[in-house]
Chain A
């Protein structure tokens, strides 16, 4: 098992390197940070000095090399826009995004899996049909529209929930959490529903399809022929066999939730990394954008590793194959 983890980490290195190169290269041509930082009035000498300071006069690969060296040490330079260390900015924003994303993912799983099981077991009940119709809405409505509709309904008309921001937060070391205050929890509701709705319906449809597939198998029929209780057959035997694909998709979707929180964060003015990224794009703030992309890539790679490890926990067949393969 440790050998497997090491080999996966080694596999992840080229991926991370490629992402770093692409993000760095892309943003090297995205805008002119110098012009934005200097403002309206400047002399050519000031401009040249700034370019030298930022290292922008160096050849592309020298710039990239410097960037990589620093990045490995957790040093992403200063934000052009805010003149503060990038790592500090991201550390400040990360808790907001992670709390939002985890809540959304948790919500999606907690509601999506039972709905999937139900619609798989009772294919023809009216509640199943309702869930399926409802899931169509979740899959097809764009996130920003759902967010705006929710704000309209619960903030503007009913006035129950705040329409923007994180509410009050409590500082736990460097981590600021909204979980511990009433206003923080209230502020979390609408954004997490907005962010998690698509994943929820996706998980529901996935679990349903897998359940239908598994319920047709011989071993489920045999489990029934052995006279096991419905509960044991449906949950013990059928559900567990649907888990592998569900874990895959949920894992990937967790990455997607964090990465695509951008839209939700913009709609709700959520002070997370996504909002930081959008603001940085507007200012051509290359260090922040590059660091953000690399961070997201690292998250995806980590989640994939966890997903692979979960496979081993669920499916004994992989344990043998995996041991041989590595």
Chain B
């Protein structure tokens, strides 16, 4: 990594949900950073905490969820403990957000133009007239045909893919430096997904915007991201350059995940899959959360929780890559 200050720095983030049956820890000790202009992919199964991480960054955790520990820094400034009013000026202006389902993200009662104009006039020192001109430019930029006419259309007059383009324009129109895109293509037709991803990628590069791209689609990550974080049960299992994580994964979970992508070169009798399922938040096992499913589990995994440590070309939270455990693994191997 370069020596420049990271745009976003998440340090030991912990998110809790107080419930009647005790506190659930939804995110535990999550740390990563995003450099200016970088695209970080975040993958994992449903409930691994990917979307929650995004929500915590933009300060819109669903109550009663709350940040219980750690820090989030944007350009070196803490934003996790900002009062609502100050955080409002960060949202949209410094961090743009894209949500999963474009059919529900736009207010049905206002034209897309009005929604763009209000976003820009809220954050930028421009009047409604100029904002409208820019709104048309943005709609053209995200590939809405006949933007000058379509600006006065209502969301329901657009298709799903077009609406997601409008959402992208809304997220980018106040020129934020970071985009948090939460499964931006999951709700779209497969044929549209590639277009929307390509658009996001192009715009981010043109505008020099960093992006945190949350998805469970490894294909999207491999195509778009510079680095990737693999999440499991509220923690980061592995993080590293996307090529390394895809080609040479270190964490057994990542290895399993990559193994479950069907190859296109030959037919498989049966798809590879990881045995078992991710634990519920209320029943995360002691030690490494992955230990009940891990094919390489050993004693220490059931007792102690691993931290992210250098593992090959990437960083993984796995005891296999800890110097102390090597002896144990060897011994375990000898017994077998």
Contact = CB atoms under 8 A, between A and B. Distances in A.
A316 B89 CA distance: 30
A222 B122 contact: no
Contacts of B14: none
A225 B110 CA distance: 17
B92 interface: yes
Instruction: Sort chain A's interface into a size bin.
Output: 20 to 34
B27 interface: no
Given A219-B108, A222-B167, A228 B119 contact: yes
Interface stretch (B70-78, B97-105, B208-216): B97-105
Interface in B166-220: 167, 170-171, 174
Contact of B156 (A218, A227, A241, A317): A317
A236 B92 CA distance: 17
B92 A225 contact: yes
Contact of A227 (B99, B154, B174): B174
Contact of A317 (B118, B154, B167): B154
Contacts of B91: 224-227
Contacts of A315: 108-109
A221 interface: yes
A271 B205 CA distance: 75
A230 B93 CA distance: 15
B106 interface: yes
A316 B99 contact: no
Contacts of A232: 118, 122
Nearest to A228: B122
Interface in A201-224: 217-219, 221-224
B162 to A, nearest CB: 16
B287 to A, nearest CB: 36
A320 B174 CA distance: 31
Given A221-B60, A222-B97, A232-B122, A227 B108 contact: no
Interface in B303-335: none
Contacts, number: 80
B88 interface: yes
B245 interface: no
Given A237-B107, A315-B108, A221 B92 contact: no
Interface residues of B, number: 32
Contacts of B136: none
A322 to B, nearest CB: 13
Main secondary structure of the interface of A (DSSP, over half): helix
Nearest to B182: A225
B57 to A, nearest CB: 11
Contacts of A222: 97, 99, 105-106, 167, 170
Contacts of B106: 219, 222
Given A316-B156, A317-B156, A320-B157, A226 B104 contact: no
Interface in B126-165: 154, 156-157
Nearest to A241: B109
A227 B107 CA distance: 15
B242 interface: no
Interface string A302-326: 0000000000001111001000000
Contact of B118 (A218, A221, A224, A228): A228
Contact of B107 (A223, A225, A314): A223
A223 B104 CA distance: 12
Contacts of B105: 218-219, 222
Contacts of A218: 99, 101, 104-105
A221 B99 contact: yes
A316 B153 CA distance: 10
Counting chain B CB atoms within 10 Å of each CB, the highest count among A232, A316, A320 belongs to A316
Given A221-B60, A232-B118, 18 more contacts: A222-B99, A224-B91, A225-B92, A225-B171, A226-B91, A226-B92, A227-B90, A228-B88, A228-B118, A228-B122, A229-B122, A236-B118, A241-B109, A316-B108, A316-B109, A316-B154, A317-B108, A320-B157
17 contacts: A219-B108, A222-B167, A222-B170, A225-B58, A226-B92, A227-B92, A227-B174, A228-B92, A229-B122, A232-B118, A232-B122, A236-B118, A240-B109, A315-B109, A316-B156, A317-B108, A317-B154
Top 10 nearest A-B pairs (CB, nearest first) are A227-B92, A225-B97, A227-B91, A218-B104, A226-B92, A316-B154, A219-B107, A222-B105, A226-B119, A218-B105
Interface of B: 58, 60, 84, 88-93, 96-97, 99, 101, 104-111, 118-119, 122-123, 154, 156-157, 167, 170-171, 174
Interface of A: 217-219, 221-230, 232, 236-237, 240-241, 314-317, 320
